[in-house]
Structure 1
Amino acid sequence: MERTSRFDYYKSRHIPELKVLRAALSDFSYDRHAHEEYAFGVTLAGRQDFFSGGEFHRSSPGNVIQFNPEQVHDGHPGDDSTLGYVMTYVPAAQLEALFADAAGSERAGAFRCGDTLIPDPELRRAILELSQLVIHRVGSRIEQEHALYRIASRLVQRAGQFQGAGKASRPDALLMRAKEYILAHLEDDVSLDDISQAAHLSKYHFLRLFRQQFGITPHQYVLNCRVNAACHALEAGVAPAEVAFRYGFTDLSHFNRRFKRIYGKTPNQYQRSVTS
């Protein structure tokens, strides 16, 4: 019997922009991409193989996977069995106050987790509790917020003494200019020259630094940002064809392919799942 992959998305009724993915993968591999949000996942069945942070990881059932915003990664089943997992996506704005409170420092609002693959039963229970509340549309706002606080406090606790981001180095500051330029021009036909000039770097130097820092090319990053922006537009009810045109995809077919490589569903399928 032929196996197919399944991707089910659920939006919280209580916490703005929080959503959960419940996935079963047998014949699907994600392209390298990054999300704007924090992502907290638990491997439920099979083996979850992925690349992130300059190395390959293998997650067996029960392990926690955590991605910071803009952390590039991919993913696929690691063996012949079906890979099952849940992933909860939380906007940074929803976690800043929780991180700061858990660490007892306002500077901790910009917290970033140093670990990607985490064997932690307490953290796993909190993630699964939050995902089940969202998936089954049960519980109150305070219950979802409490589960989210447990996730934030456990991550800060595991990190020990909080280390602030510190002053950005010059290359980091220049690359941040490039990222800000890209995000401000997602609906425009930007070129590599435009982006490197915004960062005040030569094209060669910019390409090398960008790839070294983020693990993907500027072109891949632009496409990734456009898909993320398209996702928000779809959630707001904008027609997929209009979204494709707005964010510079050559046609709906091109948009479908790019979107599915990151979200596992076509834009139309995704929109139906989160707006129904």
Structure 2
Amino acid sequence: MAKQSSQFDYFKSQHIPELTVLQAALSDFSYDRHAHEEYAFGVTLAGRQDFFSGGQFHRSPPGNVIQFNPEEVHDGQPGGESTLGYVMVYVPPTQLEALFADAVGCERAGRFRSNEILIPDPALRSAILDLAHFVTGQVGSRIDQEHALYQMVTRLVQRAGKFQPGSTVSRPDALLLRAKDYILAHLEEDMSLDAISQAAHLSKYHFLRLFRQQFGITPHQYVLNCRINAARNALEAGVVPNEVAFRYGFVDLSHFNRRFKRIYGMTPYQYQRSVTN
């Protein structure tokens, strides 16, 4: 019997701005390495979820929680012969900063980052599935969704133990942040590696080595990833795919379609139709 084709369904919360839920069934699809601007909280429902993140490969069995911090590079594919089923909740940092600060009891905890990627935690799993159910089923009120978010945040903080204020940003990290800021400010322009490394005040060779060591992808892959993320936001705002492709420097709509699908599992038009209906 032939395997069914992979399926992807995206849902936007009606109550919490920019919160998105993905329900996916993967049998013949592998994600390219990429990173999201949001926090991502997932639960493996069936099959096995194999992926690379944090410098190593991971395998997530059914019932396990996966958590990615913003801009944490990862990929993903089914492991073994069974179809991989999972749900993923994407939450923008602005929606979580106050919740993290409140759960930790420290204003500086707004940019909390979990050190765990694979998390076998029933309470966290339950909160994620509750939130996904509210969004995909369009049931419950805003306070129901906010409560599920708070339960997720509280559990992450409990697992992390006592909050330790972040240390001073190192010089290499500060230089790479300049490069990231430059990239984000010039997404609609034709950027060069020379210009990006100059913005970071690094030689091209030193910049390439540091960047790949820090983020696990090349600057070119990072630029492409940022353009895809910006394109997704434009699609959600109703901008037609042809215009989005032109705005963010893709050769043509076909090129945009291929790149977008490697990260979101569907074409820009399909994604736009799924989240704006």
**Fold equivalence (TM over 0.5):** yes
2:105 counterpart residue number = 104
| Equivalent residue letter for 1:208 | R
Q: Which moved more, 1:159-168 or 1:104-113?
A: 159-168
Structure 1 residues 124-143: aligned runs within 5 Å: 124-143=125-144
Structure 1 residues 161-176: aligned runs within 5 Å: 161-176=162-177
Is 1:53 the counterpart of 2:36? The answer is no
Tell me the SS of whatever aligns to 1:207.
Answer: helix
Gapped regions of structure 2 (runs ≥ 5): none
How far is the alpha carbon of 1:80 from its aligned partner? 0.7
1:33 counterpart residue number = 34
- Note if contact 2:3-2:27 (Cα within 8 Å) is conserved in structure 1: no
**What whole-Å deviation, never above 9, does each CA across 1:177-222 have from its counterpart, x for those lacking one?**
0000000000000000000000000000000000000000000000
2:18 counterpart residue number = 17
| Inter-CA distance 83–2: structure 2 relative to 1 (3 Å threshold) | closer
1:186 counterpart residue number = 187
| Equivalent residue letter for 1:14 | H
1:80 counterpart residue number = 81
Determine the C-alpha separation between the residues in 2 that align with 1:13 and 1:100: 25
**What whole-Å deviation, never above 9, does each CA across 1:215-262 have from its counterpart, x for those lacking one?**
000000000000000000000000000000000000000000000000
Determine the C-alpha separation between the residues in 1 that align with 2:230 and 2:48: 30
Is 1:8 the counterpart of 2:2? The answer is no
Q: What RMSD in Å do the two structures reach over aligned CA positions?
A: 0.5
1:65 counterpart residue number = 66
1:206 counterpart residue number = 207
Determine the C-alpha separation between the residues in 1 that align with 2:164 and 2:32: 31
**What whole-Å deviation, never above 9, does each CA across 1:5-43 have from its counterpart, x for those lacking one?**
000000000000000000000000000000000000000
1:226 counterpart residue number = 227
Is 1:43 the counterpart of 2:44? The answer is yes
2:236 counterpart residue number = 235
**What whole-Å deviation, never above 9, does each CA across 1:80-137 have from its counterpart, x for those lacking one?**
1100000000000000000000001111111000000000000000000000000000
- Note if contact 2:227-2:248 (Cα within 8 Å) is conserved in structure 1: yes
| Equivalent residue letter for 1:267 | P
How far is the alpha carbon of 1:60 from its aligned partner? 0.3
How far is the alpha carbon of 1:166 from its aligned partner? 1.8
Q: How many residue pairs get matched? A: 276
**What whole-Å deviation, never above 9, does each CA across 1:114-163 have from its counterpart, x for those lacking one?**
00000000000000000000000000000000000000110011000112
How far is the alpha carbon of 1:2 from its aligned partner? 4.1
1:95 counterpart residue number = 96
